[in-house]
């Protein structure tokens, strides 16, 4: 198996845009190719994540459309849809293609546009990632899913609403340092706790926003990567799945798919949780970050909330989590999220993250969750 590296990254600003998903991806991809110092003609394949383009833009077949807008229509393209983990899944398959010797340069990323429709419509479209026979007819949306997870975690471990609020405060503090973030304003614990309930015990400031945006990364074989600046090596990339129906899950206080994907990634890389310097993980809701830090082995089960409250996951803390601001402050254009997380870790490991830089970071982890915890991707990265 050949070594694979990320040699270029690009991310649009997240928030409201009046451009199509394909145009947003093309912007990010152009920046990624420029960052890599290679021509679009060098790209041998395009793996693209997009989730609700058929609903918000009446656009299917989005892979070739993205390639066409980018000006490389003859490149083989594949669209991935694994809910919020779409572009991370695209990344993993691209890694395997290069490692297998099929291609030397692959462009990976994703984009989403959802702020052109109402909140009620986008909430409905996101809920399509839950079961259409048993759950959607009951009105179950993702705030409801993660409210159930939060309540289970609180009952089992004593996690508090203030500990969840600490996650929101920390990620907004980090997001204020990120010029690409949708929200660049700090908030307080009191503001979170006083915000309106969305799905008890989750409040408005426990929830990430709907976002438009695009992200892209350029992957290359070792032979190609050695000719470019500061390659960041892919040490591992693993995926895991779990029961789709909430009623089939045995313990809502944990995410077995995270635990399985993390274990597989650590085995691939020959590393453990204590070797990780910086983490970008899926904080669609504050409780999701707490549960993920435990599932990744960063903290013992039940200790994630206390770790956030003590500042262990803040910049300068024991294990900085979501220095980009995470989904909570950076934003969550679902098709682009996984690629954006990878772009942040690459930026961190290059030492180019500016005021949000994690000092001395040499090993990073990305974690992306899809839907109602049924899909999880975990990847590890390192510098020479």
Residues 337 and 202 in one domain: yes
221 DSSP β-pair partners = 4
Residues 154 and 226 in one domain: no
Please give the pLDDT value at position 384.
84
Q: Mean pLDDT, to the nearest integer, of 126-153?
A: 93
Percent with pLDDT over 70 in the chain = 100
User: Residues 84, 207, 208, 284: which is the catalytic one?
Assistant: 84
pLDDT per position as a tens digit, 285-306? 999 999 999 999 999 999 999 9
Q: How far is CA 289 from the centre of its chain?
A: 11
**Which of helix, strand or coil describes residue 116?**
coil
Please give the pLDDT value at position 78.
95
Q: Is 332 assigned a catalytic role?
A: yes
Locate 324 and state its tokens. 């980009």
219 DSSP β-pair partners = 6, 106
Instruction: Give the span between the Cα atoms of 65 and 335, in whole angstroms.
Output: 15
Q: How far is CA 286 from the centre of its chain?
A: 14
Residues 220 and 183 in one domain: no
Residues 65 and 163 in one domain: no
DSSP secondary-structure letter at 196? P
Q: Establish if 123 belongs to a structural domain.
A: no
Q: Could you tell me the pLDDT band of residue 199, with boundaries at 50, 70 and 90?
A: very high
Percent with pLDDT over 90 in the chain = 95
Please give the pLDDT value at position 341.
98
For the cut 80, the answer to whether the pLDDT of residue 380 exceeds it is yes
Instruction: Give the span between the Cα atoms of 29 and 316, in whole angstroms.
Output: 31
Burial class (CB in 10 A: 0-12, 13-18, 19+), 222: middle
Residues 104 and 190 in one domain: no
Residues 367 and 324 in one domain: yes
Task: Give the CATH number for residue 264.
Answer: 3.40.47.10
Q: Is the pTM value of this prediction over 0.95?
A: yes
Where among 170, 198, 232 does a domain terminate?
A: 232
Find out whether 7 and 219 touch, Cβ atoms under 8 Å: yes
pLDDT per position as a tens digit, 22-47? 999 999 999 999 999 999 999 999 99
pLDDT per position as a tens digit, 73-108? 999 999 999 999 999 999 999 999 999 999 999 999
Q: Is 207 assigned a catalytic role?
A: no
Residues 84 and 53 in one domain: yes
Residues 220 and 147 in one domain: no
For the cut 90, the answer to whether the pLDDT of residue 159 exceeds it is yes
For the cut 90, the answer to whether the pLDDT of residue 139 exceeds it is no
Q: Could you tell me the pLDDT band of residue 165, with boundaries at 50, 70 and 90?
A: very high
Q: Where are the beta strands (DSSP E) in the chain?
A: 4-11, 45-49, 77-80, 105-112, 197-199, 202-203, 213-221, 232-241, 278-280, 363-370, 375-382
User: Residues 17, 282, 332, 367: which is the catalytic one?
Assistant: 332
Please give the pLDDT value at position 248.
92
Residues 240 and 169 in one domain: yes
Overall domain count for the chain = 2
Instruction: Give the span between the Cα atoms of 150 and 285, in whole angstroms.
Output: 9
Neighbour count for residue 300 (Cβ, 10 Å): 12
Please give the pLDDT value at position 331.
98
Instruction: Give the span between the Cα atoms of 253 and 157, in whole angstroms.
Output: 9
Containing domain of residue 276, as a range? 137-209+235-382
For the chain, the 3-state helix, strand and coil shares in percent, each to the nearest 5, are 40, 20, 40
Q: Mean pLDDT, to the nearest integer, of 147-152?
A: 97
pLDDT per position as a tens digit, 103-129? 999 999 999 999 999 999 999 999 999
Query: C-alpha distances in angstroms, 292 versus 23, 33, 63?
Result: 32, 32, 30
CB half-sphere exposure, 344, CA atoms < 13 A = 35
Please give the pLDDT value at position 57.
95
**Which of 136, 213, 224, 220 has its CA nearest to residue 178?**
213
Q: Could you tell me the pLDDT band of residue 229, with boundaries at 50, 70 and 90?
A: confident
Residues 31 and 168 in one domain: no
**Which of 146, 167, 178 has its CA nearest to residue 321?**
167
Locate 45 and state its tokens. 């394949």
Locate 193 and state its tokens. 């706790």
Neighbour count for residue 193 (Cβ, 10 Å): 15
Residues 104 and 224 in one domain: yes
């Amino acid at each position: 198996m050949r070594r694979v590296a990320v040699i270029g990254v690009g991310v649009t600003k997240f928030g409201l845009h009046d451009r199509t998903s394909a145009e947003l991806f093309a912007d990010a991809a152009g920046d990624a190719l420029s960052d890599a110092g290679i021509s679009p003609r060098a790209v041998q394949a395009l793996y693209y994540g997009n989730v609700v383009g058929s609903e918000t833009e009446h656009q299917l077949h989005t892979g070739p459309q993205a390639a066409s807008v980018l000006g490389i229509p003859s490149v083989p393209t594949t669209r991935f849809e694994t809910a919020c983990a779409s572009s991370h899944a695209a990344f993993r398959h691209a890694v395997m293609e290069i490692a297998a010797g099929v291609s030397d340069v692959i462009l990976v990323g994703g984009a989403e546009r959802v702020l052109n429709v109402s909140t009620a419509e986008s909430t409905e479209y996101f809920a399509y990632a839950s079961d259409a026979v048993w759950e959607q007819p009951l009105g179950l949306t993702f705030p409801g899913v993660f409210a159930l997870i939060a309540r289970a975690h609180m009952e089992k471990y004593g996690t508090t609403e203030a500990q969840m609020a600490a996650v929101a405060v920390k990620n907004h503090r980090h997001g204020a340092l990120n010029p690409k973030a949708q929200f660049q304003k700090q908030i307080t614990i009191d503001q979170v706790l006083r915000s309106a309930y969305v799905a008890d015990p989750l409040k408005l400031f426990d929830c990430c926003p709907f976002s438009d945006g695009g992200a892209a990364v350029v992957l290359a074989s070792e032979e190609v990567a050695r000719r470019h600046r500061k390659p960041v090596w892919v040490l591992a990339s693993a995926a895991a799945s779990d029961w789709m129906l909430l009623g089939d899950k045995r313990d809502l206080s944990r995410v077995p798919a995270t635990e399985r994907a993390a274990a597989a990634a650590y085995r691939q890389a020959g590393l453990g949780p204590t070797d990780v310097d910086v983490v970008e993980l899926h904080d669609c809701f504050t409780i999701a970050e707490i549960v993920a830090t435990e599932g990744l082995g960063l903290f013992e089960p039940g200790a994630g909330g206390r770790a956030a409250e003590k500042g262990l996951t803040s910049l300068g803390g024991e294990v900085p989590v979501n220095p980009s601001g995470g989904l909570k402050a950076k934003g969550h254009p679902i098709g682009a999220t996984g690629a954006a997380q990878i772009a942040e870790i690459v930026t961190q490991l290059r030492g180019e993250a500016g005021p949000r830089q994690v000092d001395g970071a040499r090993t990073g982890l990305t974690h992306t969750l899809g839907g109602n915890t049924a899909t999880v991707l975990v990847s590890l990265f390192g510098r020479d």
